[in-house]
């Protein structure tokens, strides 16, 4: 199993784009009716070449500039490239040119909105992630993404999280174990821990490759029962919606009984609270907001007159 958190950005992009880029571009263009742009076809000369630049209107973190690869070389005469000196993960000032497009307007304009939509999502995700990463600077905590992504664009958003300095949590339901409250509803803390232990042993017997094995705790009593499991049963314990005081108590208990166990904080994490959470000594903080609430980055196409 590839450790994407240890990959370079270039390697991460290569792995993800090889499988997902063409599908994403084709879906976006089909949805937009780009094969029959009635306005452009009626107004623009297919024989006249033009040059345009994709520009960020806001300060932003560059992400997914490689999207251009999916839009060029489609038999339309469109050429495109990343501007020299631009690289994913770079912090950009407003007005920075990211991509250069060259070809007739009949090739540039039909793909404009689809390209800008995808870039806007990716760069917003990277920029918000970088804000969270900056807020925990000086602590040992890393910012992790979640599965709260735009359907069909998980690959793009998880790549963008890396551009912003965040870390991959789990890709989906099949690459890691994450036992949540709904899995064990109705169990006492002790029965909960025993149930998890049996499930982990069964999984390990099948030799299923996993990124990690994590169980959620909603209370300090649940957390204490998980610490009592045999060493090596769990990789991570996720503390859901714990107060700062509860996180501090949990860290002290972990340090005394299971110092090798990683602690992840989750639930309702905001930019104004993430620093205090990180200073409790947790190892990981998972933040749904960096993908589900990243919003939009204002990127635009400017034609060179």
Model confidence pLDDT, tens digit, residues 137-158: 999 999 999 999 999 999 999 9
Q: Is the pLDDT of residue 305 over 90?
A: no
Q: Which of 180, 202, 204, 270 is catalytic?
A: 180
Distance, in Å, from the CA atom of 193 to the CA atom of 178, rounded to the nearest integer, reads 13
* 4 exposure class (CB count in 10 Å sphere: 0-12, 13-18, 19+): middle
- Catalytic-role residue among 240, 248, 279, 298: 240
Band of residue 197 on the pLDDT scale cut at 50, 70, 90? confident
Instruction: Tell me the per-residue pLDDT of 24-49, one tens digit each, with 9 for 90 and over.
Output: 999 999 999 998 999 998 998 888 88
* 243-273 pLDDT, tens digit each: 999 999 999 999 999 999 999 999 989 999 9
Over the stretch 282-292, which tens digit does the pLDDT of each residue have?
999 999 999 99
Known catalytic membership, residue 304: no
Question: Does 69 have pLDDT greater than 90?
Answer: yes
Among the listed residues 216, 254, 258, 284, the single catalytic one is 216
- Which band of pLDDT confidence, cut at 50, 70 and 90, is reported for residue 189? low
Q: Of the listed 74, 113, 147, 279, which one is catalytic?
A: 113
Say whether 113 is catalytic: yes
**Max Cα-Cα span within the chain:** 74
Q: What is the pLDDT of residue 74?
A: 67
**pLDDT, greater one: 198 or 102:** 102
* Three-state secondary-structure class, residue 219: coil
Q: What is the average per-residue pLDDT within 220-225? A: 93
- State the first-to-last Cα distance of the chain, in angstroms, to the nearest integer: 49
Query: Residue 240 — pLDDT band, cuts 50, 70, 90?
Result: very high
Q: What whole-number percentage of the chain has pLDDT above 90?
A: 80
Single pTM value for the model: 0.94
**Is the pLDDT higher at 129 or at 230?**
129
Q: How far is CA 189 from CA 51, 74, 196, 284, in A?
A: 64, 58, 11, 23
Q: For strands 49-56 and 299-303, give the pairing.
A: antiparallel
Catalytic (active site) residue 174: no
Domains of the chain: 4-133+295-303 (3.90.1170.20), 137-292 (3.20.20.70)
pLDDT of 117 reads: 98
Q: Does residue 3 surpass a pLDDT of 90?
A: no
What pLDDT, on the 0 to 100 scale, is given for residue 75?
62
Average pLDDT, the chain: 93
Q: Per the residue annotation, which of 148, 175, 248, 279 is the catalytic one?
A: 148
Percentage of the chain exceeding pLDDT 70? 98
């Amino acid at each position: 199993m590839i450790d994407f958190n240890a990959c370079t950005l270039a390697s991460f992009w290569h792995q993800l784009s090889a499988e997902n880029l063409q599908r994403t571009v084709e879906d976006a263009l089909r949805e937009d009716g780009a094969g029959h742009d009635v306005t452009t076809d009626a107004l623009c000369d297919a024989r006249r070449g033009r040059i345009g630049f994709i520009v960020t209107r806001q300060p932003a973190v560059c992400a997914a500039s490689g999207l251009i690869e999916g839009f060029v070389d489609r038999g339309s005469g469109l050429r495109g490239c990343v501007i020299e000196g631009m690289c994913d993960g770079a912090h950009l000032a407003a007005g920075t040119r990211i991509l250069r497009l060259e070809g007739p307007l009949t090739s540039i304009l039909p793909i404009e909105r689809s390209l800008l939509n995808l870039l806007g999502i990716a760069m917003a995700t990277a920029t918000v992630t970088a804000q969270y990463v900056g807020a925990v600077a000086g602590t040992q905590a890393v910012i992790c993404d979640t599965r709260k992504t735009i359907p069909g664009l998980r690959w793009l958003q998880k790549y963008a999280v890396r551009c912003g300095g965040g870390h991959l949590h789990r890709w989906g339901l099949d690459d890691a174990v994450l036992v949540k409250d709904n899995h064990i509803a109705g169990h006492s803390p002790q029965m909960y821990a025993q149930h998890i232990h049996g499930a982990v042993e069964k999984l390990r017997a099948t030799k299923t490759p996993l990124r990690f094995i994590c169980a959620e705790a909603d209370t300090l009593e649940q957390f204490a029962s998980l610490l009592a499991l045999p060493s090596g049963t769990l990789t991570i314990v996720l503390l859901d919606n714990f107060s700062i005081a509860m996180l501090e108590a949990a860290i002290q208990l972990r340090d005394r009984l299971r110092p090798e166990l990683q602690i992840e904080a989750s639930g309702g994490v905001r930019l104004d609270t993430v620093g205090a959470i990180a200073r409790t000594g947790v190892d990981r903080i998972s933040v749904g907001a960096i993908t589900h609430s990243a919003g939009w980055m204002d990127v635009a196409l400017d034609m060179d007159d």
